[in-house]
């Protein structure tokens, strides 16, 4: 269900796009719409409802309208959502991976290189020239022609890759020498709608800016318009103040100033219909509980992961959805296990001492065939369907999705030291920042460029995790000084 401001945002998006797509209006120039908003502002749900509104509108001109994804987790989950909504497997065809907009695959490029030399299309900086050369040699693959689609709606557009920069070059499933992902989406579409939050790009290669989109749109003779969802909030009990507090926590300010923002959040009326805050849900007393007001965003810090789990299970018993999440602070050792839930205890990805010689253990999210719907949607027959707390989800898996409650394991990759946030590269295992992390490990000085870049990426990952909840966030914090700092930052 959309909240009031989100309904207004959807109406605005419909008005802007429907006017352009109305078959009675005749030909119209290529157009780009950028929809911006913070976490929880409803970008994905507005995108889905906009797609549904356009395809059911009799005035929409003929043409294909596709829903575009920018990650494997997004693709597998949206594919499942469209299948379930339509009750037919073919509905998955509406969902299009962003790499499918390229006129050639990496396999095609390899074939051409074998025929014409290894140096063919080797310079990503010369991607425009490469495209012209390719057009003279090879027919674009089906679905990647100019203006192949009437509309492309791009969810999580902050994950788009720009190989003009070195961080955007690598083995990412598309031929980087053929140019930026966003350029090809716009090239193949009469109308492109990007849904993005620049603050949610946390991997090195997620490097496409608003300015990039504007520049490529001008190159394609496309008009650009921006719509803001800044004043809407779907998650976090409808509390924009909670998100503002969260941002202040990560700005390296004195925790007393962040606590002032916390008072604004806790004093604000909850706006999420039916949201339930925290009462006595843990089996043991906790050190901090933000509020028992039933309409406010709940926030609680626990002494152990076991207590955090008990609190989540209490919410599940009341019919709420819940997941345990963490940043990529542990190696994914169980990734190739055929059944990580039956692996020896010592091979669990998470092994956390809870006293008396006992450990709290969990594997990372189990995603057979890279199908992240197993974790996010707890597909029938999966371990998550039997127990939604049996795995730990990573930032990559859950970005763009939400749950009533999330329990977050705040590990030692991001710690507070005296008066600043610090990153420990030894605890960063996110493959998307592997190059930055490697450079940071070689640098002892915390003020070097690589350290600062890695710090910003890890902070952004935590920001994503801390804004996945509709009703409440539960925390367990590994580092004592960091735990003390977070308590001060939210102290009433």
Distance CA 110, CA 106 (A): 6
Q: What is the mean pLDDT of the chain?
A: 84
Percentage above 70 pLDDT, the chain: 89
Given a cut of 80, whether residue 234 has pLDDT beyond it is no
Mean pLDDT to the nearest integer, 90-96: 87
Which pLDDT does position 388 carry in this prediction? Answer: 96
Q: How far apart are the C-alpha atoms of 326 and 314, rounded to whole Å?
A: 20
Instruction: Please provide the size of the chain in residues.
Output: 492
Sign of the dihedral through C-alpha 396, 397, 399, 404 = negative
Band (pLDDT 50/70/90 cuts) for residue 189 is very high
Q: What is the pLDDT of residue 284?
A: 36
The encoded tokens of residue 111 equal 């074939």
Nearest C-alpha neighbor of 290 from the set 472, 477, 467: 472
- pLDDT, residue 423, reads 92
**In this predicted model, what pLDDT tens digit does every residue of 280-314 receive, in sequence order?**
233 333 333 443 344 577 899 999 999 999 999 99
Residue 392 near residue 305 (C-beta atoms within 8 A): no
Question: 168 with 207: CB under 8 angstroms?
Answer: yes
pLDDT score of 207 more than 70: yes
Kindly list the domain boundaries of the chain, sorted by start residue.
Answer: 4-228, 236-489
What's the mean pLDDT in 321-344? 90
Alpha helices (runs of H) in 103-209, residue ranges in sequence order: 106-116, 127-137, 181-187
Give the tens place of pLDDT for each residue, 248-289.
889 877 777 788 778 777 776 554 433 322 222 333 333 334
Q: Which residue has the higher pLDDT, 74 or 235?
A: 74
Distance CA 78, CA 154 (A): 12
25 pLDDT band, cuts 50/70/90, is low
Residue 400 has pLDDT above 90, yes or no: no
**C-beta of residue 210 within 8 angstroms of C-beta of residue 168:** no
Q: What is the pTM of this model?
A: 0.80
Which one of 3.40.50.300, 3.20.20.70, 3.50.50.60, 3.40.50.970 gives the CATH number of domain 4-228?
3.40.50.300
Q: Is the pLDDT of residue 316 over 90?
A: yes
Asked if 207 and 163 count as a contact pair (C-beta separation under 8 A), the reply is no
Q: List, in sequence order, every residue forming a beta bridge with 34; answer none if it has no partner.
A: 194, 226
């Amino acid at each position: 269900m959309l909240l009031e401001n989100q309904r207004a945002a959807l109406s605005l998006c419909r008005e802007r796009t429907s006017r352009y797509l109305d078959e009675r209006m005749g030909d119209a120039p290529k157009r780009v719409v950028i929809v911006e908003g913070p976490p929880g502002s409803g970008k994905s749900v507005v995108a889905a409802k906009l797609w549904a509104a356009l395809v059911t509108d009799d005035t929409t001109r003929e043409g294909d309208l596709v829903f575009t994804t920018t990650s494997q987790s997004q693709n597998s989950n949206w594919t499942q959502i469209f299948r379930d909504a339509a009750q037919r497997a073919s509905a998955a065809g509406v969902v299009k991976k962003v790499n499918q907009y390229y006129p050639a695959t990496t396999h095609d490029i390899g074939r051409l290189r074998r025929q014409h030399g290894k140096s063919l299309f080797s310079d990503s900086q010369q991607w425009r020239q490469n495209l012209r050369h390719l057009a003279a040699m090879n027919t674009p693959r089906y679905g990647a022609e100019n203006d192949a689609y009437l509309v492309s709606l791009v969810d999580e557009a902050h994950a788009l890759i720009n190989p003009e920069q070195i961080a955007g070059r690598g083995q990412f499933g598309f031929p980087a020498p053929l140019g930026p992902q966003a350029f090809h989406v716009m090239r193949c579409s009469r109308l492109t709608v990007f849904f993005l939050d620049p603050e949610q790009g946390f991997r090195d290669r997620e490097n496409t800016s608003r300015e990039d989109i504007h520049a490529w749109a001008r190159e394609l003779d496309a008009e650009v318009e921006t719509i803001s969802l800044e004043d809407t909030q779907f998650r976090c009990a409808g509390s924009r103040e909670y998100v503002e507090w969260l941002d202040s926590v990560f700005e390296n300010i004195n925790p007393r100033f962040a606590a002032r923002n916390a008072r604004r959040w806790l004093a604000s009326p909850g706006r999420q219909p039916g949201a339930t805050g925290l009462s006595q849900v843990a089996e043991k007393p906790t050190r901090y509980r933000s509020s028992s007001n039933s309409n406010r965003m709940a926030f609680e810090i626990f002494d152990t992961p076991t207590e955090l789990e008990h609190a989540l299970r209490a919410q599940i018993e009341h019919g709420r959805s819940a997941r345990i999440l963490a940043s990529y602070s542990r190696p994914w050792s169980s990734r190739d296990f055929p059944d990580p839930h039956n692996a020896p205890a010592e091979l669990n990805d998470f092994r956390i001492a809870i006293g008396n010689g006992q450990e709290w253990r969990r594997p990372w999210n189990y995603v057979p065939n890279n199908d992240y719907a197993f974790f996010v949607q707890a597909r029938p027959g999966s371990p998550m369907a039997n127990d939604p707390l049996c795995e730990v989800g990573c930032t990559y898996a859950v970005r763009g999705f939400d749950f009533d409650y999330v329990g977050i394991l705040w590990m030692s990759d991001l710690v507070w030291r005296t008066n600043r946030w610090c990153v420990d590269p030894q605890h960063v295992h996110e493959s998307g920042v592997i190059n930055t992390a490697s450079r940071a490990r070689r640098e002892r000085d915390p003020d070097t460029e690589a350290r600062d870049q890695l710090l910003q990426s890890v902070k952004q990952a935590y920001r994503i995790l801390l804004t996945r909840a509709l009703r409440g966030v539960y925390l367990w914090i590994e580092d004592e000084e960091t735990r003390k700092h977070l308590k001060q930052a939210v102290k009433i």
